[in-house]
Amino acid sequence: MSPGSKIALALFVLGILTYLPYHAFRHDSSQEYLRLAGEVEEMRAGNDQMRSENEVLRRRIDASRNDPRVMERQARERLMLAKPDELILVFPEQDAVGEN
C-alpha cells in the first residue's frame, strides 16, 4: 500500500469515527427511541387492562355456562320465563311512553 492510500484510508476511518457519535447523539434517533419507548409502555398498560377485562368476561361466560342460578336469571330476564306461582309484569319502555 502506498503512503498516499494509507493517509486516505486513515482520513476515511477518522471521518467515520467522527460522524458516528455525532449521528448517534445529535440525530433525532434518540428522540424517536424515547417516543417509541413511551408508546410501548402505553401499549403494555393497555394490554394489562385488556387482560383483566378478558378475565372478567371469561368468569362471566363460565358462570353463564355452569352456574344454574345465572342460567335461571338469564332465562327469566331474556325469555321472560316465570315459575308457576309467579306473575310477570312488563312495563313499556320510557321512549314508548313519551311518544303517546
Q: What are the domain boundaries of the chain?
A: 3-82
- Separation between Cα atoms, residue 42 and residue 34, nearest integer Å: 12
Confidence of residue 75 (pLDDT cuts 50, 70, 90): confident
Cβ pair 71, 64 in contact under 8 A: yes
Per-residue pLDDT, 41:
95
pTM, two decimal places: 0.46
- For 9, residues 6+ apart whose C-beta sits below 8 A from its C-beta are 1
C-alpha cell at 39: 408508546
pLDDT of 36-67, one tens digit each? 999 999 999 999 999 999 999 999 999 888 99
Q: How far apart are CA 11 and CA 67, in angstroms?
A: 79
